[in-house]
């Protein structure tokens, strides 16, 4: 395919003549048309440990993978002539201009990796200058420039490397908080696998790993104050030592990813805590009773909540919190506060006595007692920003008065709860279960479940089989299109929109461990990555989901090539035949 021929066909065709299609799509990318630029050994003209090691990783990936885009966008003019074939990589003549170095200019080398740090960058590859020029306000922006650049440099098919055209990029994220949540309380995830997820985060420009460390089921973290807590790890091998946790934090930081720890309290608490003093937890020996809902003490087995009235609870919470605060350097710390079950407190004599003392007291007063006594402990660390699940404000057992500087993570009722939280003035992280919960739709995990003993579909409906949602409370499975199409600021006022600080896709791990964590998270989390980096609409405000298709299919292959074991999304035929697998031939059917 001759390049000069393509350039005569007008702007759209020139753009589509470029095969690379980095993900997330940059906010602003302008391709030239003078032809390919040869890439020689790129020397970094810059000195600083974080930037240098990030460049070394990017360069290693470039040279070892010799990447050729696995899925390319079809020229618009080829619609609807399916299938179209994947063109070969373009060759550069020996006379083509070459680049030999990467110049990086960073305005502030000392900017810490914290919420809201400037992550913008510019990147310019020109036929006239033998250096690729990158500018960034902070090192963290420069790291994003590298993950873009490593997707731009491709093999010329003859052992050389090229960038297909001169290019100018101006890029910056839409939202400062962009992440995934992993859960190592329900099942243990090895450090090696956690690091793999961080590789995926960095490549897709996500910058938060929310680490739901423990849950009622297990306590995997080694605690300086209470070594006995890991008696409730699944085994002596399924423990995170202090060094393991520090290693995860350091590995993530080197890749521009913040690690936000979560200790889920006062709900979802049994393991670990009960080893310190059985009285600081309650209802652990009750039947969780989801079969008789009026008696339920937990929404899933096993039950357990911190005793809110027992004084020693706060002493232990403080020591655990201080221990973890020495390990996790992020200014954000998540302290749970979801799904408090009133019935659980029937098993606490401390709580029952407290209610008896004053019959006007309610469960809302109890939740308020927790806020009043626990929040000062959380504020005991300098510059700490506390994060909680929305339940503490919006559930039936809500507290009356939750400080407005606490970041709320929204997971119920989609747009409705986002509106409630932001209009009340809370900074909000969107994790609406109907759109972003990656664990949904795999059936139930509870056993002795007679709902499956049916010889036909009980009511013939897709959504209400096996007694409801196939046993998965948040079925169906959230596809990448479902995630990417979510307009989560719909109907918010301008001042409410400012309170949306970003989004996280949670992967709860009742049915996840090392075996499937990567393919459950990826590449779906990369669709979220683009949604919160540059959005789901083009310059004219039209949904660009259909343009993400080939970009995401390529990126999935790229993740796998980089060691992140992402799931297949389509038969490979779809990847090789752009838009051949679309449901509608109308390319703007997604409005």
Ligand X SMILES: *[C@@H]1O[C@H](CO)[C@@H](O)[C@H](O)[C@H]1NC(C)=O
Q: Which residues are catalytic, by number?
A: 339
- 391: which 2 tokens? 């339940």
Query: Among 247, 242, 32, which Cα is nearest to 152's?
Result: 32
* Closer residue to ligand X in complex, CB, 197/230: 197
* Closer residue to ligand X in complex, CB, 31/328: 31
Q: Is 343 in the site for ligand X (CB under 6 A)?
A: yes
How far apart are CB 591 and ligand X at their closest, in Å? 4
Q: Is 511 in the site for ligand X (CB under 6 A)?
A: yes
How far apart are CB 282 and ligand X at their closest, in Å? 12
- Nearest residue relative to ligand X (C-beta): 442
Q: Is 589 in the site for ligand X (CB under 6 A)?
A: yes
Q: Is 586 in the site for ligand X (CB under 6 A)?
A: yes
Identify the residue among 91, 168, 361, 373 touching ligand X (CB under 6 A). Answer: 168
Task: Give the C-alpha separation, 51 to 143, whole Å.
Answer: 7
Q: Which helix (H) or strand (E) holds 201?
A: helix 191-203
Binding span for ligand X by CB under 6 A among 41-49, 255-263, 385-393, 510-518: 510-518
Q: How crowded is residue 255: how many other Cβ atoms within 10 Å of its Cβ?
A: 23
Query: Among 153, 166, 130, which Cα is nearest to 34's?
Result: 166
Identify the residue among 232, 520, 530, 557 touching ligand X (CB under 6 A). Answer: 520
How far apart are CB 422 and ligand X at their closest, in Å? 14
How far apart are CB 286 and ligand X at their closest, in Å? 7
Identify the residue among 361, 373, 442, 451 touching ligand X (CB under 6 A). Answer: 442
Give the contacts of 40 (CB within 8 A, at least 6 positions apart).
98, 99, 100, 161
Task: Give the C-alpha separation, 244 to 366, whole Å.
Answer: 36
| Interactions with ligand X, residue window 476-495 (CB under 6 A) | 490-491
How far apart are CB 418 and ligand X at their closest, in Å? 10
CA atoms within 13 A of residue 90's CA, in its CB half-sphere: 23
How far apart are CB 516 and ligand X at their closest, in Å? 4
* Closer residue to ligand X in complex, CB, 48/127: 127
Binding span for ligand X by CB under 6 A among 81-89, 125-133, 196-204, 583-591: 583-591
Task: Give the C-alpha separation, 40 to 97, whole Å.
Answer: 10
Identify the residue among 51, 54, 512, 566 touching ligand X (CB under 6 A). Answer: 512
* Closer residue to ligand X in complex, CB, 44/209: 209
Q: Which residue spans within 241-370 are E strands per DSSP? A: 258-265, 281-282, 305-306, 332-336
Identify the residue among 295, 400, 404, 572 touching ligand X (CB under 6 A). Answer: 295
* Closer residue to ligand X in complex, CB, 44/528: 528
Residue 170, beta-bridge partner list = 28, 122
* Closer residue to ligand X in complex, CB, 34/516: 516
Residues 6, 135: contact at Cβ < 8 Å? no
Q: Is 241 in the site for ligand X (CB under 6 A)?
A: no
Burial class (CB in 10 A: 0-12, 13-18, 19+), 389: buried
* DSSP string computed for 457-501: -SSS-SSS-TTTGGG-TT-S---HHHHHT--TTTT--HHHHTTEE
Binding-site size, ligand X (CB under 6 A):
21
Q: Is 103 in the site for ligand X (CB under 6 A)?
A: no
* Closer residue to ligand X in complex, CB, 473/573: 473
Residues 220, 211: contact at Cβ < 8 Å? no
Q: Is 546 in the site for ligand X (CB under 6 A)?
A: no
Question: Residue for token digits 């299919």?
Answer: 553
Interaction mask 56-85, ligand X, x per CB under 6 A: ------------------------------
Q: Is 307 in the site for ligand X (CB under 6 A)?
A: no
Give the contacts of 6 (CB within 8 A, at least 6 positions apart).
13, 14, 17
Residues 78, 84: contact at Cβ < 8 Å? yes
* Closer residue to ligand X in complex, CB, 583/591: 591
Identify the residue among 1, 49, 462, 591 touching ligand X (CB under 6 A). Answer: 591
Q: How far is CA 283 from the centre of its chain?
A: 33
Identify the residue among 439, 496, 504, 530 touching ligand X (CB under 6 A). Answer: 439
How far apart are CB 85 and ligand X at their closest, in Å? 25
* DSSP string computed for 7-49: HTT-HHHHHHH-----SSPPSEEEE--S--EEEEEEEEE---H
Binding span for ligand X by CB under 6 A among 197-205, 512-520, 530-538, 553-561: 512-520
Identify the residue among 120, 346, 412, 489 touching ligand X (CB under 6 A). Answer: 346
How far apart are CB 445 and ligand X at their closest, in Å? 8
How far apart are CB 156 and ligand X at their closest, in Å? 26
Identify the residue among 415, 521, 553, 575 touching ligand X (CB under 6 A). Answer: 415
Residues 20, 166: contact at Cβ < 8 Å? no
How far apart are CB 586 and ligand X at their closest, in Å? 4
* Closer residue to ligand X in complex, CB, 439/496: 439
Task: Give the C-alpha separation, 427 to 437, whole Å.
Answer: 20
* Closer residue to ligand X in complex, CB, 415/553: 415
| Interactions with ligand X, residue window 13-42 (CB under 6 A) | 28, 30
Task: Give the C-alpha separation, 93 to 168, whole Å.
Answer: 22
- 311: which 2 tokens? 């004084």
For 101-124, letters b (16+ CB in 10 Å) and e give bbebebeeeebebebebbbbbbbb
Helix ranges (H only) for 287-413 are: 312-327, 349-357, 363-378, 391-394
Query: Among 21, 42, 41, 43, which Cα is nearest to 31's?
Result: 21
Query: Among 190, 207, 215, which Cα is nearest to 259's?
Result: 207
Binding span for ligand X by CB under 6 A among 177-185, 266-274, 426-434, 508-516: 508-516
Q: Is 423 in the site for ligand X (CB under 6 A)?
A: no
Identify the residue among 241, 311, 349, 495 touching ligand X (CB under 6 A). Answer: 311
How far apart are CB 65 and ligand X at their closest, in Å? 28
Identify the residue among 33, 48, 114, 170 touching ligand X (CB under 6 A). Answer: 170
| Residues at the contact surface with ligand X, assessed by CB under 6 A | 28, 30, 168, 170, 295, 311, 343, 346, 415, 439, 442, 490-491, 511-512, 516, 520, 586, 588-589, 591
């Amino acid at each position: 395919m001759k390049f000069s021929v393509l350039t005569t066909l007008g702007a759209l065709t020139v753009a589509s003549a470029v095969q690379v299609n980095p993900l997330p799509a940059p906010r602003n990318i302008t391709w030239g048309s003078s032809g390919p630029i040869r890439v020689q050994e790129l020397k970094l003209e810059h000195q600083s440990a974080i930037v240098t090691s990030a460049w070394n990783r990017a360069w290693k990936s470039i040279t070892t993978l010799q990447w050729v885009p696995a899925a390319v966008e079809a020229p618009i003019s080829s619609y609807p002539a399916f299938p179209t074939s994947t063109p070969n990589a373009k060759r550069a003549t020996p006379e083509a201009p070459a680049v030999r170095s990467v110049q990086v200019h960073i305005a502030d080398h000392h900017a810490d990796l914290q919420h809201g740090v400037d992550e913008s960058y510019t990147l310019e590859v020109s036929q006239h200058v033998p250096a690729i020029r990158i500018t960034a306000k902070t090192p963290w922006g420069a790291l994003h420039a590298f993950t873009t650049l490593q997707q731009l440099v491709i093999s010329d098919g003859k052992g050389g490397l090229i960038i297909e055209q001169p290019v100018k990029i101006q890029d910056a994220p839409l939202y400062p908080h962009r992440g995934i949540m992993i859960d190592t309380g329900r099942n243990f995830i090895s450090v090696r696998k956690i690091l793999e997820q961080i590789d995926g985060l960095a490549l897709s420009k996500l910058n938060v790993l929310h680490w739901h460390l423990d849950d009622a089921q297990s306590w995997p973290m080694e605690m300086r104050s209470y070594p006995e807590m890991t008696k409730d790890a699944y085994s002596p091998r399924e423990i995170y030592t202090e060094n393991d946790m520090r290693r995860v934090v350091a590995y993530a930081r080197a890749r521009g990813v913040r690690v936000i720890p979560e200790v889920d309290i006062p709900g979802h608490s049994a393991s670990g805590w009960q080893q310190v003093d059985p009285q600081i937890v309650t209802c652990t020996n009750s039947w969780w009773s989801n079969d008789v809902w009026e008696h339920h003490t937990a929404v899933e087995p096993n039950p357990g909540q911190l005793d809110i009235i027992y004084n020693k609870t706060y002493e232990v919470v403080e020591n655990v919190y201080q221990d973890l605060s020495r390990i996790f350097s992020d200014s954000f710390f998540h302290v749970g506060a979801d799904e408090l079950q009133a019935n659980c407190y029937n098993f606490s004599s401390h709580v029952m006595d407290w209610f008896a003392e004053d019959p006007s007291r309610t469960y809302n007063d109890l939740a308020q007692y927790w806020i009043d006594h626990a929040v000062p402990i959380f504020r005991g660390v300098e510059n700490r920003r506390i994060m909680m699940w929305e339940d503490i404000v919006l559930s039936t057992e809500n507290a009356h008065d939750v400080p407005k500087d606490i970041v709320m993570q929204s997971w119920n009722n989609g747009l409705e709860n986002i509106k409630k939280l932001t209009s009340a003035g809370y900074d909000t992280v969107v994790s609406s279960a109907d759109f972003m919960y990656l664990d949904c739709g795999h059936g139930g995990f509870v056993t002795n479940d007679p709902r499956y003993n049916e010889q036909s579909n009980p009511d013939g409906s897709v959504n209400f089989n096996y007694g409801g949602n196939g046993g998965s409370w948040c079925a169906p499975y959230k596809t990448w299109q479902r995630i990417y199409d979510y307009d989560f600021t719909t109907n918010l006022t301008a001042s409410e929109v400012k309170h949306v600080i970003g989004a996280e896709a949670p992967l709860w791990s009742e049915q996840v461990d090392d075996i499937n964590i990567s393919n459950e998270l990826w590449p779906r989390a990369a669709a979220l990555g683009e949604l919160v980096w540059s959005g789901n609409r083009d310059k004219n405000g039209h949904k660009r989901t259909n343009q993400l298709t080939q970009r995401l299919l390529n990126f999935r292959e790229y993740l796998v090539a980089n060691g992140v074991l992402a799931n297949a999304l389509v038969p490979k035929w779809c990847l090789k035949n752009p838009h051949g697998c679309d449901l509608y031939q109308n390319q703007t059917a997604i409005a």
